[in-house]
C-alpha cells in the first residue's frame, strides 16, 4: 500500500489549514458526531436560507488528518449548494468510500471530482474509513435536524 495514496497533498494541506473552521453566525442547523474508538469529535454548523440553500457551513472539532481534511473539503463542496444537491453529494461520497463500484461523477465538475477522489485512498485502510465518513454522516444529521449525536460505531 502506498501511503501517498492515503496522504495526498490535498489532504495534508486541508489537514493543516482547514477551511470553514469555527462556529458560523445565525446557523439554523447543527449536529455533533463522535467516534468513540478514538474520542474524535466534530460539530457541524449549517445556515440554511429560505430557498433551502446552504448559505454557510462550518465545523469545529479535533481529529486526525483524514477526518479534518474530509470535513474541510466537505464544507467547501457543499457551501452554496441546494439542500437537494448537498444530499446527493453526501450519497456520492459515502458510496465511493464504501463500495468498490465505479463512482459516477456525472453531476460534479472537475474540481469537485478531484477533491472527492482525494479521499478515496481510505478505502484501502478499513480502520480509517470512519475517520473520513464521520463528518458526512454528521452533515446529513444536521440537514435532517436530528437531535441525537452521530456515533461512528452505529452507522454503516
Partner 1 sequence: MKINDVKSQFPIFSKKINGKHLVYLDSSNSSQKPIKVINSLDNFYKNEFSNIGRSIHSLAVNATNKFEETRMSVKNFLNANSKEEIIFTKNATESINLVAHTFGQQNINKGDEIIISELEHHSNYVPWHYLRQTKGAVIKFAPIDENGDIIIGELKKLITSKTKIIAVTHLSNVTGTIVPIKEIVEIANKKNIPVLVDGCQSAPHIKIDVKDLNCDFYAISCHKVYGPTGVGILYAKKKWLERLPPYIGGGGMISEVGKEKITYAPLPEKYEAGTMPTAEVVAFNESIKFMEAVGIENIIKHEKELTNYALEKLKKINSINIIGNPKNKAGVISFTMKGIHPHDISTIVDEEGVAIRAGHHCCQVLHQKLNLTATARASIGVYNTKEDIDVLCDSIKKCRKVFELQ
Q: Which of residues 45-64 bind partner 1 (CB under 8 A)?
A: 62-64
Using the contact rule CB under 8 A, the part of the chain among 1-9, 24-32, 108-116, 145-153 near partner 1 is 1-9
> To the nearest whole angstrom, how small is the minimum distance from the Cβ of residue 39 to partner 1?
4
Name residues whose C-beta falls within 8 Å of residue 125's C-beta, 6 or more positions apart in sequence: 1, 6
> To the nearest whole angstrom, how small is the minimum distance from the Cβ of residue 78 to partner 1?
23
Select from 48, 66, 97, 116 the one that contacts partner 1 (CB under 8 A).
66
Q: 129-144 vs 83-98: helix axis angle to the nearest 10? A: 160
**Kind and range of the H or E element at 92?**
helix 83-98
The verdict on 150 binding partner 1 (CB under 8 A) reads no
- The C-alpha cell 486541508 sits at 14
Least Cα distance to 28 among 54, 8, 66 occurs for 54
* Pair 133, 97: CB distance under 8 Å: yes
The verdict on 126 binding partner 1 (CB under 8 A) reads no
**How many degrees, rounded to 5, is the angle at CA 104 between CA 118 and CA 150?**
65
> To the nearest whole angstrom, how small is the minimum distance from the Cβ of residue 155 to partner 1?
18
Nearer to partner 1, 7 or 105 (CB): 7
Using the contact rule CB under 8 A, the part of the chain among 3-11, 51-59, 87-95, 107-115 near partner 1 is 3-11
Q: Give the pairing of strands 40-48 and 54-62.
A: antiparallel
Q: Which of residues 67-96 bind partner 1 (CB under 8 A)?
A: none
For residue 90, count other CB atoms closer than 10 A to its CB.
20
Binding residues (CB under 8 A) for partner 1: these are 1, 3-4, 6-7, 12, 16, 37-41, 62-66, 125, 127-128, 131
Amino acid at each position: 500500500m502506498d501511503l501517498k495514496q492515503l496522504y495526498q497533498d490535498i489532504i495534508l494541506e486541508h489537514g493543516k489549514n482547514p477551511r470553514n473552521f469555527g462556529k458560523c453566525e445565525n446557523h439554523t442547523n447543527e449536529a455533533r458526531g463522535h467516534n468513540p474508538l478514538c474520542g474524535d469529535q466534530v460539530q457541524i454548523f449549517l445556515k440554511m436560507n429560505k430557498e433551502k440553500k446552504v448559505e454557510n457551513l462550518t465545523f469545529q472539532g479535533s481529529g486526525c488528518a483524514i477526518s479534518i481534511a474530509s470535513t474541510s473539503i466537505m464544507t467547501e463542496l457543499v457551501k452554496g449548494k441546494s439542500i437537494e444537491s448537498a444530499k446527493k453529494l453526501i450519497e456520492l461520497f459515502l458510496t465511493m468510500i464504501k463500495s468498490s463500484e465505479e463512482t459516477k461523477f456525472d453531476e460534479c465538475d472537475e474540481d469537485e471530482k478531484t477533491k472527492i477522489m482525494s479521499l478515496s485512498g481510505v478505502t484501502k485502510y478499513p480502520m480509517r474509513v470512519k475517520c473520513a465518513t464521520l463528518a458526512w454522516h454528521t452533515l446529513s444529521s444536521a440537514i435532517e435536524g436530528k437531535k441525537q449525536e452521530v456515533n461512528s460505531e452505529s452507522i454503516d
